[in-house]
A and B are shown apart, each in its own frame.
Chain A
Amino acid sequence: MGQYYRSKQDALYWNFGLDTLHILLRKWNKAVQFGINGLLFLLLVLNVYVLFLLGRSYMFDALPWMSDVFVSTRPLAGAFWFVMIFNLYLFYRMYHALTSSRGKITFEKGVVRGRNINISGVLHQTVVDALDQTWMNVMKQRQMPIRPMQLLATLLTNSDIEMVLARLGLPFDALANALSRQLAYYPPVKTDDSLDDSVQAIMLNAYLIAERARSARVRVTDVMQAIVLADEKVQEIFYDYRVDTVKITNVIAWINFNNMLIDRFHRYRSKSIYKPKGPINRSYTAAATPYLDSFGTDLTLLARAGRLPLMVAREKELEELFRVMEGGKSVVLVGEQGVGKGMIIEGLANQMTAEEVPKMFQDKRLVSLSLPFLVAGAARTGEVQERLLLVLQEILRSGNIILVIEDIHNLVGVSSAGTENIDLSDVLTQEIQRGGVMAISTSSPRDMTQYIERSSLSGVLERVSVLEPDRNSAIQILQANVGAVEAKHKVFFTYEALERTIDLSDRYLHDQFLPAKAINLMTEVGSWAAKRERKLIIGEDIAELVSRKTNIPLMQVTQKESSKLMNLEDIMHERMVDQEEAVSLVASALRRARAELRDEKRPIANFLFLGPTGVGKTELAKTVAESYFGNEEAMIRLDMSEYQNQDSIGRLIGVPGSGSGGLLTENVRRSPFALLLLDEIEKAHADILNIFLQVMDDGRLTDANGRTVDFTNMILVATSNAGAHYIQDEVLKKTPIEQIKEGLIRGGQLRDVFRPEFLNRFDGIVVFKPLSEDDIFKIAGLMLKSVRKRLLNKGIALTVTEAAQRELAQAGFDPIFGARPLRRVIQERVDNALAKYLLEGQIGRRDEVILEVGGKISVKKAQKL
């Protein structure tokens, strides 16, 4: 006690009696007040009974009965009036408690004068109870004064706090245990101070938090927030469960936000009863619009019935819409599919029913015109135009209608049979120009440029851009929508789950837009979890579902996966022989990507594989695709020798105006999580290399139609045999591979083919060594292994003697073509011979085939069963 704090003009102080006397007083007070209220209610019932007794003596004849009550001097009438005093007192108590500002935070309007505010006077009852309880606990433990963590430990049992913990996904028991472990360290001290200074500071902060949230009292959540913000030990405990202060603040903001939405909903509902139920406005100047009604939907009527969702986080756009329309112009909301153009219009309808809108929107109807209805079944020449004109005429006559036309670009170029008709958009333009018709329309950026800007409509519609919401707004929108999903599937989302829904959908779901794609994902997760009888949805669940959709590993690394990642080199070597350097470079890039340590604005990795043909460049690319994307088919392969001249850019990224995308952009758009293999990149035209320069740098590429394609989840591998001769020569001279690489990059070998800035963009330039005879022998082993696997499917075992394998390797070895001829040799000598034996029926199930030197095949027949 005794410390003052300043907040704006006010002086805040803490004066709270926290000792046996005051706690007892509060307890007594609570009980006595409860008792008094009960007694007063009894007296009310008693008085009704007295009134009944008085009436019964007159057989409930009103006149003598009332005269007895109001005029006579009977003692029973006296009793009635006497008890009446207590009835009035009861009324006072109830009414006073509701309206009094005592014990509440008040917000003064206009000029603020300084006040003295006792923070302890505006605490919510639950906070007072928590303080009392803490005091008693701490007293028992002899650990005075009360410190923040002790208060927090008491707060945990509060139901509001439980809600916060659940939203944070915090296990209650673990948290309580951690707190009590910490509390045990406090030495048993007894001082006169009941509260530690830090607790007083916390109560002050709680007050400020409550004031900022415009809450009437300091609630338990405010106190909890203040504790977490102030106490580092508490932060550490929460941090063990991956909960930081920002998250806690956001969860509490979420709860406040929901309360705000509920308040707003009730306000709209109560105000909307004044909105007329029909098409006529309150001043009766409007006319009925039967024709319009048959082609449209009255949004204000829907809002009046409480059928439209509340608008969230789009206040700025609505503000702009008001500004433009008050200036007398019609509006086109331009935004991608799913960013919430419709929500803005629905929000406007809600505000219009509550009449919380500028004057020109008051007492008006918002009617959405359906273009499909308008056009449907119009066969006669000029019929569509006639319908639209009639609709517009009704709007003009009625004068209380604001027209909504969604996807207004569909109007452009629509006319009835016969070419002499004018365009529908021209009809609308004319009416808007003449004044009297106000329209709010929507369109997408592409349709806007393609259709509207080329039509007459562009002159009468002012553009209001609706962009994708930022992360925070998107989270708010999800928070406003999560309740419906939770109620439907009986599940519960943690805050982290919502956050990850936004982040993951933003990063991995392309060609859709926030917030729609996040809401869709959330809905999907809801039903997915409900089917598995899961109640709590955490961030990992979202990651799992997105992983299933995209085939990208997104969940936390499990033990099994971790050991797989650590042994990635060994796993890759099951398919690759030697090329140590290449394998380890690629493996560490994949580990970086999986640990999320990579730059998220660029492709996962960019590699240039250099080396002569047939040494395993493509094989390594396939191995990477399999180990990171789970499937060696997750690969887009472009043969760059097909892109040798400048015109081939069109094939790669599309031709402007054609409407169809290019080979590269379309493929990446369709499978954005794959390996992009650019074979023989040195053969591509220099301009095409420039395109890849941008891809490697920014992780994105804009196609000829203006669509941006995302490359940030691709692994880009370019292969080239530029400098292959040099590599072969140097390897023969036994030059170390590092030195060969230096020679390639610094010497003339690569510089003649690629520009230095192009080479610089690669995360790794990997030089593949030519294969030695020994390597070929091992590769032959790998290839024979796959033959063996195929035979095993038929139940036949294959054994190859080492001499035979060596013979095959020798036959297949070619210093220029690497391992490529080997495949042919195995095909000719092994596969063909086996095929012949199989067709002739000389080998059956359970037989063993032995391949020996000279291509000799012997069969060891199995025993008859």
Chain B
Amino acid sequence: MLRQNIVFLATKTLFFDIAWDFVYFPIWWYTVGLQHIVMNGMKNILAMADHLALRLLVLNIFKPMFAQTDRAGRIISFFMRVVILIARSVYFFIYTLLQLVLIVGWIIVPAFVVYRLLSIFILSYV
């Protein structure tokens, strides 16, 4: 009798835990989860900027490259740096866009799933 009672109690607690977890999942997705994804994206974007040394390139735009301090060297360096800067900025832009797509995707996907389910199972039979 006592043993049965305990098993019943245990099962009940467990069941409520699981049910609550499933209910909590969409809430988490749009709060804590979203925050994580946004922060992660920002971190990735900043790391990429660091990796591409964008700031360093801008700061050193008038500095000669490869220690070529003569006149010609300075001029060539300036244009070279501009070219590099443009190329890397494009790369950076694409990368940032990708990160944004990820974040937007995070927001849209569950909503889209619900929309599709609604349109297939409810709207088509109404």
Contact = CB atoms under 8 A, between A and B. Distances in A.
* Co-complex (A, B): yes
A92 B66 contact: no
A280 B6 CA distance: 71
Contacts of B68: 287
A284 B120 contact: no
Contact of B120 (A21, A77, A286): A77
Interface in B1-27: 6-7, 9-11, 13-14, 17-18, 21-22, 25
A397 B67 contact: yes
A573 B36 CA distance: 85
Interface string B109-123: 110010011011101
Contact of A285 (B6, B25, B63, B117): B63
B18 A36 contact: yes
Contact of B66 (A25, A29, A280): A280
Contacts of A75: 120
A32 B14 contact: yes
A363 B53 CA distance: 11
B27 to A, nearest CB: 10
Interface string B31-44: 00100100000000
Nearest to A72: B120
A28 B15 CA distance: 11
Contacts of B57: 283-284
B60 interface: yes
A73 B119 contact: yes
A92 B29 contact: yes
Contact of B53 (A24, A78, A282): A282
A399 B67 contact: yes
B66 A284 contact: yes
A95 interface: yes
Contacts of A284: 57, 60, 65-66, 77, 81, 84
A332 B25 CA distance: 60
Contacts of A78: 116-117, 120-121
A85 B51 contact: no
Contacts of B67: 285-287, 397-399
A88 interface: yes
Nearest to A83: B113
A832 B13 CA distance: 107
Interface string A131-159: 00000000000000000000000000000
A577 B53 CA distance: 89
A283 B56 contact: yes
Interface in B57-82: 57, 59-60, 63-68, 77, 81
Contact of A283 (B29, B63, B120): B63
Contacts of A399: 67
A186 interface: no
Interface in A270-302: 274, 280, 282-288
A655 B35 CA distance: 76
Contacts of B51: 274
A323 interface: no
A82 B10 contact: no
B59 A283 contact: yes
Interface secondary structure of A, over-half rule: helix
Contacts of B84: 284
A92 B9 contact: no
Given A92-B29, A285-B67, A24 B6 contact: yes
Contacts of B25: 88-89, 92
B50 A81 contact: no
A631 interface: no
A24 B5 CA distance: 12
A20 B120 CA distance: 48
Interface in A6-56: 20-21, 24-25, 28-29, 32, 36
Given A78-B117, A284-B81, A21 B60 contact: no
Contacts of B9: 21
Interface residues of B, number: 42
B93 interface: no
A73 B120 contact: yes
Interface string A338-379: 000000000000000000000000010000000000000000
A760 interface: no
Interface string B80-123: 01001000000000000000000000000110010011011101
Contacts of B120: 73-75, 77-78, 81
A28 B17 contact: no
Contacts of A82: 117
B50 to A, nearest CB: 7
Interface string A590-634: 000000000000000000000000000000000000000000000
A96 B26 CA distance: 12
Contacts of A280: 66
A84 interface: yes
Contacts of A93: 21
A21 B66 contact: no
A558 interface: no
Nearest to B36: A99
B59 A28 contact: no
Given A25-B13, A78-B121, A285-B60, A95 B18 contact: no
Contacts of A21: 6, 9-10
A24 B10 contact: yes
Interface string A58-83: 00000000000010011101100110
B122 to A, nearest CB: 10
Contacts of A397: 67
A24 B8 CA distance: 11
A711 B52 CA distance: 62
A551 to B, nearest CB: 61
A419 to B, nearest CB: 36
Which of A28, A92, A95 has the largest number of chain B CB atoms within 10 A? A92
Given A92-B28, A285-B60, A285-B63, A73 B124 contact: yes
Nearest to B21: A93
Contacts of A73: 119-120, 123-124
Contact of A282 (B28, B56, B116, B123): B56
Contact of B17 (A20, A29, A81): A29
Contacts of A85: 113, 117
B63 A28 contact: no
A274 B66 contact: no
Contacts of A70: 116
Nearest to B22: A89
A84 B63 CA distance: 55
A88 B66 contact: no
A439 to B, nearest CB: 20
B111 to A, nearest CB: 11
Contacts of A25: 10, 13-14
A285 B113 contact: no
A287 B28 contact: no
A277 to B, nearest CB: 13
Nearest to B117: A81
A426 B116 CA distance: 81
A88 B60 contact: no
A139 to B, nearest CB: 14
B124 A20 contact: no
Given A73-B119, A89-B22, A286-B66, 11 more contacts: A28-B10, A29-B17, A70-B116, A88-B25, A92-B25, A95-B36, A283-B57, A284-B77, A284-B84, A285-B65, A286-B67
Q: Rank and list the top 10 A-B pairs by shortest CB-CB distance, nearest first.
A: A287-B67, A78-B120, A282-B53, A283-B56, A73-B124, A284-B65, A81-B116, A283-B60, A25-B10, A397-B67
29 contacts: A20-B6, A21-B6, A24-B7, A28-B10, A28-B14, A29-B14, A32-B14, A36-B18, A73-B124, A78-B117, A81-B116, A88-B113, A99-B36, A274-B51, A282-B53, A282-B56, A283-B56, A283-B59, A283-B63, A284-B57, A284-B77, A284-B81, A285-B67, A286-B66, A286-B67, A287-B68, A363-B56, A397-B67, A398-B67
